């Protein structure tokens, strides 16, 4: 006789990725035949689907009771063989969800590898059986002798709790400080782990190679793993499992890696901490640098922020403590102003384009400087942060422009394949033979992109002979268009490092982090656009981009000395007297940062205030702004907690207000109290849900806390 199965008797709180703004709450209740510890991964039914969930800590008050007559659904299975996600990881997710105004389940499940979210218990068991055994270490790598500045920074980091802001000029050897601190942390505890964050995928392979060279001989090849969106599903799962099990001692990754499960976390490094790429722009809009700081404090791990151009938030936090300013004096600032090997920073030369021939992409002095460098066998980098051949095609007869039919933006002209592409929605069309409006055959490109600069430089340098070998000059381009294929970026960078490229044209993706040993001249062709942006952070970002780009020149002091001429940074501008360029000429980030902070303090802007954006996407601009206006009125009528300290600005369209036939509007909230802003946003959520039901044209809304672009 068969014994009937025991009915589920334990009620569990489980985090699942509920539909966005579903108002279902943070955690859902499910029944289980046996108690399961928090952090256990389970499969649960959700509607008609079966999804991954994380058993969560029971609410202190026991949670809201189930409605009368409603029985909880039973879990479908447990992913056994995998240790539960520990309490520090759950606290990190809980904090991120609360601070960035998202659900716990949304943040928790987004933090897990996509392939793990699809695996059932049997599939995971098979995957775990295939996991590679840890490799055995070999002989230790030789120690690198630090410079005096590096040694001072290393000693300070070992002596204090941090957080630390490592403010080092480009080429000062910040990476070596990171590696030394990682080595000390791993040697001190056999279970210790280190997390190293970089802003972009293209910087990960370069740093990974250097980290492997240092630590694989000590701990084995499996001790170093990467985590970023450029990896395949199986690769990401393999790295995540290694980190979760403690086999991976060092995890390198982009912003998503801040949520990696690291039970032995002892050190966090955030390289290029100023970079806006650390801010997530979809879903839960977290800032990885800020979460790294919170996680380090929560788990007792040291945190090192590194940059040659720190964010103004970090710069202010590392300034001497000031009475009445709780944000100052929180970090310890460590300065490394000198380049390794006594290398000198590039001389900054400003070219007034008002004094140059009209219509020329390259001024005669800059072209002469590039030609001279190339003839000697040196390399040059030309920076233009705009891809394509030209931003727009234009008909002078009737005024037609290559507007995107789905966005309030132009389609960019790409000459290589004769297409017009929208860089917002991806819509692509063939270049018309004549003006679609009036039939004029003379439609012309307006403005310049990297593709056009590559073509013009190839023509201007076609007769230039390079070095004693007497070959023709070679021009290459690296941007998002030339690096789409897998491995394309690594291949092109290898050509540059091998000296097979004389002039490299590129966007910001080649302006930071790369160690080009033979580049001695960097030129910024059209940087002025950011000077007059509506975003108050634009000057800070422009200065950082140009200073980082300048840092690509003259990194090898011995090579520069052998060539006999100092490295240079050329800037072509219509505003040569602008304070940004004046400070850049002196390589004076501290003065520029202090001046910007004084302006922001006077205007009550971050880091002296806290902001949030509420954005609405709708079928019409009227519907988007109508929702935001109604939500604002509802908040005022309700007298929400903290509301007296929160200022709500009127809703306005986004700079690009229509994308993929969706109209977008936003409303800015600002407060001198972070606590008041958070209380207000949390209490506002139910009203936003209610208003959504009353606005039929609304497609979605979201809250962006600490926005990085306004």
In terms of domains, do 73 and 190 share one?
no
For the segment 664-700, what is each residue's pLDDT rounded down to a tens digit?
999 999 999 999 999 999 999 999 998 888 888 899 9
User: Is the per-residue pLDDT at 290 higher than 70?
Assistant: yes
User: What percent of the chain stands above pLDDT 90?
Assistant: 64
Distance from the Cα of residue 547 to its chain's centroid? 18
Cβ within 8 Å of residue 632, ≥6 positions away: 648, 651, 667
Q: How confident is the model at residue 20 (pLDDT cuts 50, 70, 90)?
A: low
User: What percent of the chain stands above pLDDT 70?
Assistant: 94
DSSP-derived pairing of the beta strands 471-472 and 465-466 = antiparallel
For the segment 423-474, what is each residue's pLDDT rounded down to a tens digit?
999 999 999 999 999 999 999 999 999 999 999 999 999 988 887 777 889 9
What pLDDT is stored for residue 277 in this prediction?
Answer: 94
List of E strands, 169-254: 193-197, 224-227, 250-253
Q: Mean pLDDT over residues 25-51, rounded?
A: 89
Helices (H), 48-197: 87-99, 104-110, 114-118, 121-129, 148-159, 174-188
User: Is the per-residue pLDDT at 63 higher than 70?
Assistant: no
Structure tokens at 399: 């005024």
For the domain that residue 511 is a member of, what is the CATH number? 3.40.50.300
**407 annotated among ligand-binding-site residues:** yes
In terms of domains, do 542 and 397 share one?
no
User: Is the per-residue pLDDT at 325 higher than 80?
Assistant: no
In terms of domains, do 654 and 689 share one?
yes
Structure tokens at 189: 């505890």
Cβ within 8 Å of residue 276, ≥6 positions away: 541, 708, 709
What pLDDT is stored for residue 516 in this prediction?
Answer: 84
Q: Mean pLDDT over residues 54-60, rounded?
A: 86
**181 annotated among ligand-binding-site residues:** no
Q: At what angle do helices 288-299 and 87-99 cross, to 10 degrees?
A: 140
In terms of domains, do 201 and 266 share one?
yes
Q: How confident is the model at residue 2 (pLDDT cuts 50, 70, 90)?
A: very low
Tell me, yes or no, whether 3 lies in a domain.
Answer: no
Point out the domain boundary residue: 129, 162, 177.
129
In terms of domains, do 170 and 307 share one?
yes
What pLDDT is stored for residue 4 in this prediction?
Answer: 46
Tell me, yes or no, whether 620 lies in a domain.
Answer: yes
Tell me, yes or no, whether 5 lies in a domain.
Answer: no
Point out the domain boundary residue: 586, 602, 618.
602
Tell me, yes or no, whether 109 lies in a domain.
Answer: yes
What pLDDT is stored for residue 488 in this prediction?
Answer: 85
How many Cβ atoms sit within 10 Å of the Cβ of residue 56?
Answer: 24
In terms of domains, do 479 and 371 share one?
yes
Unique residue bearing structure tokens 């993929």: 660
Cβ within 8 Å of residue 68, ≥6 positions away: none
**404 annotated among ligand-binding-site residues:** yes
- One-character DSSP codes across 271-291: ETTT-GGGB--SSS--BHHHH
**395 annotated among ligand-binding-site residues:** yes
In terms of domains, do 187 and 309 share one?
yes
In terms of domains, do 412 and 496 share one?
no
Q: Mean pLDDT over residues 315-320, rounded?
A: 92
CA distance 506 to 384: 6
Q: What's this model's pTM, rounded to 2 decimal places? A: 0.91
CA distance 350 to 153: 34
For the domain that residue 643 is a member of, what is the CATH number? 3.30.70.600
Tell me, yes or no, whether 1 lies in a domain.
Answer: no
Tell me, yes or no, whether 578 lies in a domain.
Answer: yes
What pLDDT is stored for residue 268 in this prediction?
Answer: 98
For the segment 468-482, what is each residue's pLDDT rounded down to a tens digit?
777 889 999 999 888
Consecutive H or E run containing 15: strand 10-16
The closest of 18, 25, 31, 27 to 70, measured between CA atoms, is 31
Point out the domain boundary residue: 129, 163, 197.
129
The closest of 407, 486, 411 to 447, measured between CA atoms, is 411
The closest of 244, 266, 326, 286 to 95, measured between CA atoms, is 286
Tell me, yes or no, whether 143 lies in a domain.
Answer: no
Length of the chain equals 710
What pLDDT is stored for residue 132 in this prediction?
Answer: 60
In terms of domains, do 523 and 597 share one?
yes
User: Is the per-residue pLDDT at 702 higher than 70?
Assistant: yes
- Counting the structural domains of the chain, the total is 5
Among 15-19, 228-232, 244-248, 296-300, the range scoring the smallest mean pLDDT is: 15-19
For the segment 340-358, what is each residue's pLDDT rounded down to a tens digit?
776 788 999 999 999 998 8
Cβ within 8 Å of residue 32, ≥6 positions away: 8, 9, 10, 11, 12, 42, 74, 75
Unique residue bearing structure tokens 């392939």: 115
How many Cβ atoms sit within 10 Å of the Cβ of residue 619?
Answer: 14
For the segment 101-158, what is each residue's pLDDT rounded down to a tens digit?
999 999 999 999 999 988 777 787 777 776 665 555 555 556 678 889 999 999 999 9
pLDDT, the chain, mean: 89
For the domain that residue 47 is a member of, what is the CATH number? 3.40.1440.60
Which structural domain range is residue 670 located in? 610-705
In terms of domains, do 319 and 365 share one?
no
Tell me, yes or no, whether 444 lies in a domain.
Answer: yes
What pLDDT is stored for residue 136 in this prediction?
Answer: 57
CA distance 223 to 242: 8
In terms of domains, do 173 and 61 share one?
no
For the segment 179-213, what is each residue's pLDDT rounded down to a tens digit?
999 999 999 999 999 999 999 888 888 888 889 99
Using CB atoms within 10 Å of the CB of residue 575, give its burial: 0 to 12 exposed, 13 to 18 middle, 19+ buried. Answer: middle
User: Is the per-residue pLDDT at 372 higher than 70?
Assistant: yes
CA distance 484 to 113: 23
Helices (H), 394-537: 450-460, 488-497
At residue 395, what are phi and psi to the nearest 5 degrees? -105, 115
Q: How confident is the model at residue 69 (pLDDT cuts 50, 70, 90)?
A: low
CA distance 515 to 206: 9
Q: Mean pLDDT over residues 376-404, rounded?
A: 93
Omega prior to 163 cis, within 30 of 0? yes
**632 annotated among ligand-binding-site residues:** no
Distance from the Cα of residue 600 to its chain's centroid? 23
Using CB atoms within 10 Å of the CB of residue 447, give its burial: 0 to 12 exposed, 13 to 18 middle, 19+ buried. Answer: middle
**398 annotated among ligand-binding-site residues:** yes
In terms of domains, do 481 and 356 share one?
yes
């Amino acid at each position: 006789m068969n014994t009937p199965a025991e009915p589920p008797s334990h009620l569990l709180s489980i985090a699942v990725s509920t539909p966005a703004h579903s108002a279902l709450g943070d955690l859902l209740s499910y029944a289980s035949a046996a108690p399961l510890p928090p952090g256990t991964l389970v499969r649960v039914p959700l509607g008609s689907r079966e999804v991954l969930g994380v058993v969560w800590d029971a609410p202190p008050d026991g949670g809201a009771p189930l409605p009368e007559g409603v029985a909880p659904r039973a879990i479908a299975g447990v992913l056994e063989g995998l240790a539960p996600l520990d309490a520090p990881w759950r606290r990190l997710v809980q904090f991120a969800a609360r601070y960035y105004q998202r659900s716990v389940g949304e943040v928790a499940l987004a933090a897990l590898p996509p392939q793990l979210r699809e695996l059932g218990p049997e599939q995971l068991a098979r995957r775990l059986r295939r996991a590679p055994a840890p490799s055995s270490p070999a002989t230790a790598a030789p120690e690198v002798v630090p410079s005096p500045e590096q040694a001072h920074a290393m000693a300070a980091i070992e002596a204090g709790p941090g957080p630390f802001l490592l403010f080092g000029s480009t080429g000062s050897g910040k990476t070596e400080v990171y590696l030394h601190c990682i080595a000390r942390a791993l040697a001190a505890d056999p279970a210790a782990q280190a997390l190293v964050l970089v802003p972009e995928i293209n910087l990960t392979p370069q740093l990974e190679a250097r980290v492997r060279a240092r630590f694989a001989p000590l701990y084995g090849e499996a001790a170093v793993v990467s985590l970023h969106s450029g990896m395949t599903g199986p690769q990401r799962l393999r790295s995540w499992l290694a980190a979760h099990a403690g086999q991976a001692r060092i995890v390198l990754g982009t912003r998503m890696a801040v949520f990696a499960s690291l039970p032995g976390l002892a050190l966090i490094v955030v390289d290029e901490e100023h970079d806006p790429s650390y801010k997530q722009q979809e879903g839960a809009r977290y800032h990885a640098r800020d979460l790294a700081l919170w996680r380090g404090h929560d788990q007792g791990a040291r945190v090192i922020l590194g940059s040659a151009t720190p964010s103004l938030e970090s710069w202010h936090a590392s300034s001497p403590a000031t009475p009445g300013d709780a944000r100052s004096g929180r970090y310890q600032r460590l300065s490394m102003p000198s380049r390794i090997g006594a290398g000198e920073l590039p001389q900054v030369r400003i070219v007034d384009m008002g004094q140059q021939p009209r219509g020329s992409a390259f001024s005669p002095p800059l072209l002469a400087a590039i030609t001279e460098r190339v003839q000697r066998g040196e390399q040059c980098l030309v920076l233009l942060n705009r891809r394509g051949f030209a931003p727009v095609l234009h008909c002078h007869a009737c005024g037609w422009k290559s507007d995107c039919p789905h966005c309030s933006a132009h389609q960019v002209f790409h000459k290589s394949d004769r297409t017009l592409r929208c860089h917002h929605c991806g819509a692509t069309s063939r270049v018309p033979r004549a003006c679609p409006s009036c039939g004029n055959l003379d439609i012309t490109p307006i403005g310049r992109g990297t593709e056009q600069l590559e073509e013009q430089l190839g023509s201007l340098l076609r007769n230039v002979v390079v070095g004693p070998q007497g070959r023709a000059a070679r021009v290459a381009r690296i941007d998002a268009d030339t690096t789409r294929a897998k491995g394309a970026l690594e291949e092109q960078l290898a050509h540059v490092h091998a000296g097979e490229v004389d002039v490299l044209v590129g966007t910001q993706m080649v302006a930071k982090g790369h160690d080009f040993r033979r580049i001695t001249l960097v030129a910024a062709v059209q940087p002025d656009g950011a000077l007059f942006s509506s975003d108050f952070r634009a000057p800070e970002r422009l200065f950082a981009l140009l200073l980082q780009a300048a840092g690509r020149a003259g990194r090898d002091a011995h090579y520069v000395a052998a060539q006999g001429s100092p490295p240079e940074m050329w800037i072509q501008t219509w505003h040569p007297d602008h304070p940004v360029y004046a400070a850049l000429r002196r390589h004076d980030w501290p003065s520029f940062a202090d001046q910007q902070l004084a302006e922001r303090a006077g205007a009550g802007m971050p880091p002296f205030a806290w902001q949030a954006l509420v954005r609405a996407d709708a079928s019409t601009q009227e519907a988007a702004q109508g929702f935001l206006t109604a939500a604002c009125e509802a908040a005022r009528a309700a007298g929400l907690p903290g509301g007296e300290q929160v200022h709500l600005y009127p809703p306005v369209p986004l700079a690009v207000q229509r994308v993929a036939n969706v109209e977008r509007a936003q409303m800015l909230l600002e407060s001198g109290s972070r606590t008041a802003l958070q209380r207000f946003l949390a209490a506002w959520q139910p009203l936003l849900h209610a208003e959504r039901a009353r606005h039929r044209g609304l497609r979605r809304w979201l809250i962006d806390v600490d926005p990085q672009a306004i």
